[in-house]
Amino acid sequence: MSILLLALAICVSGQALAQATPSHPALTVTPGDADRGRALIRDPSRASCLICHSIAALPDRDQGELGPPLDGVAAIYDADELRLRVMDARRLSPDTIMPPYFSTEGLYRVGREWSGTTIYSAQEVEDVVAFLATLIE
């Protein structure tokens, strides 16, 4: 009887853990394009991810060390969680310094010309997620 209760407790706690990890479904019906995502994260005019992060597979010389390396990120997070981290990492880590790429909520000191606009469009988020999903190792 106690083994049955233990097994039930493990199953319930596993379900609770799975439900506790926030994620977000796709923002568009058009799948993301990994090549476009790769270009976006390297584009310094579009808030390049490489300002803070590094990716060994990319030839860019000046890569960031402020955030964690993105190598192997797809082996850690599924596409839905990667998407949420790109959209607004504050939903997972409230104290993060990573900017929200698809949210305008809770921001302050935003320039007038950027007020109310997101850094990436919904399709661009999907493109970045498609690229990040290729970073298995």
What pLDDT does residue 94 have? 94
Whole-number pLDDT of residue 24: 78
pLDDT tens figures, 82-118? 999 999 999 999 999 999 999 998 888 888 888 889 9
Q: Is 128 or 25 the better-scoring residue by pLDDT? A: 128
pLDDT in tens, 105-115: 888 888 888 88
**pTM for this structure?**
0.81
Please report which confidence band the pLDDT of residue 20 belongs to, taking 50, 70 and 90 as the band edges: low
User: How much is the average pLDDT of 122-126?
Assistant: 97
Please state, in angstroms and as integers, the Cα–Cα distance from residue 135 to each residue in 48, 64, 73, following that order.
17, 17, 6
Domains and CATH numbers, the chain: 2-132 (1.10.760.10)
Gap between the Cα atoms of 92 and 20, Å rounded: 10
- CB–CB of 92/109 below 8 Å? no
